[in-house]
Structure 1
């Protein structure tokens, strides 16, 4: 079984704004949250969670599904979950794992929070932040 599908950052925000059950889960690392920023969930009643998919060294988080449950998700409850990472790669893996664990429907945010590296060697040309969606710092 695979995740429910991909959403652009704007489609993800629209889903989160329209469905009061939907939860945004940022699966980047703590360092990314602290140094780059996080989506600002104030406009969606704070329905967001920070749950690392991997450590900064790329080691999978063995408590990932448990931490989704701690964030208020219940397997089988059909609550939409929107996964976000830096560029939309780790969030696919997280959405697949969540789906396999009975959570969701689970969605991936295309291009993530700040997208791939652009021609200038920098990130931030595409993604959540570049599209002007709400974000903040920790």
Structure 2
């Protein structure tokens, strides 16, 4: 169940605290292929299981941007901001893909509220995510995202 925040003060109190990990999400070949179709990225390392057997990972791997695109899903599982108006994706300060996500991996994520600034358009919340594949020594994705919470 996601952790619920009812005010900016509650968010401010949670700065620096890790939330999660959340529920696992399995990355199967169907999801990888659907992402390839949506983005036009049909590189063999993602979509050709036969060729990928002889590739560097011995199987297909998820696109890094597929893993990144799951942050809203992971975030909804980890926390809910139950106040303010709209939530607007303002972008990312930093994104890295330290390790691959082999097909059929189970991913979990943690989130840490890193910063909160208030301005005329609303409050900007900086969230650091770490997404890890089961059994991996390093995260598959680390990203620092920015969300504007409108009044």
TM-score by length of 1: 0.26
TM-score by length of 2: 0.25
Q: Greater strand share, 1 or 2?
A: 2
* Larger Rg, first or second structure (1 or 2): 2
